[in-house]
Amino acid sequence: MISRFHFPGRLPAAGELELPDALAHHAVRVLRLREGERIVLFDGEGGEAEATLQVRGKAAWAQVEPRREVDRESPVHIVLVQALASGDKMDWVVQKAVELGASAIQPVQAERSVLRLVGERADKRQAHWQQVAVAACEQCGRNRIPEVRPLQPLAHWLAAHRDALSYVLAPGGAASFGEESAPQGAVHVLVGPEGGWSDAEMAAFDAAGCRRVRLGPRVLRTETAGLAAIAALQARWGDF
């Protein structure tokens, strides 16, 4: 399998291209790729190009072939609105959501979120999660990088998205995705933290016009529920 790397900025025309230090280090020092190996560079804007790796000491270049547009995006625009989860669960959720085809990930602070982030800590985690998304695109073949949006309180998100199509995953929800009509525009999937949504949050969802849905008769963990929902949406209206 040819190694893929995100090249920051739009790929230039075909020819010799010096690789950024971080990309060169990852290719040569971490993956131990050698002179003459084939790689793929993608720019995050929908384009990719095959290239041949050239190594010169600690630096690396690529002999790049013409850029081409390759679309591997889902026809259904899914935004995962994920309540903060503890430990490394958020890394897992971001990585797998990108692999499954989510268009964006919106972290929100919920009442029962164990993890609490503010200020610089929140900014650092967002930057880290964005890099997780980049790495997931390198692995899964996507040429457009989903945005991991800045963390915000759930109430703020709700206030700004009252007209959006939003599904709240809730055990005992009245409907399943199989009973819903094909979406026109973006679909927002809201997933609670380890302790679930509070009664006040559920009331706020109802007031905002969010739709309660269930994923079968079982109760799924926070790191499982959103991914299962994305897969279900992809199977019903996407490219699965």
**What are the pLDDT digits (tens) for 227-240?**
999 999 999 999 99
CA angle 77, 79, 82 (to 5 degrees): 160
Q: Give the whole-angstrom CA distance, residue 80 versus residue 69.
A: 26
| CA distances, 179 to each of 121, 227, 232 (Å) | 41, 19, 12
- Record the tokens describing residue 87, joined without a space: 């430990």
Say how far residue 48 (Cα) sits from the centre of its chain.
Answer: 19
**What are the pLDDT digits (tens) for 107-144?**
999 999 988 888 899 999 999 999 999 999 999 999 99
| Phi/psi at 78 (5° precision) | -110, 125
**Contact in structure between 154 and 110 (CB atoms under 8 Å):** yes
**What are the pLDDT digits (tens) for 43-90?**
998 999 999 999 987 789 999 999 999 999 999 999 999 999 988 999
- Record the tokens describing residue 16, joined without a space: 């010799």
Nearest alpha-carbon partner for 188 in 109, 75, 81 = 81
- Record the tokens describing residue 85, joined without a space: 């989860």
Q: Which residue has the tokens 């985690």?
A: 125
Please say if the pLDDT value at position 186 is more than 90. yes
Q: What is the structure's pLDDT at 173?
A: 67
Nearest alpha-carbon partner for 100 in 149, 148, 133 = 133
Question: Please, what is the average pLDDT of the chain?
Answer: 93
Give Cβ neighbours of residue 25 (< 8 Å, ≥ 6 apart): none
Q: Which residue has the tokens 């206030």?
A: 159
Mean pLDDT of 24-30: 92
Tell me the percentage of the chain whose pLDDT exceeds 70.
99
- Record the tokens describing residue 236, joined without a space: 């019903």
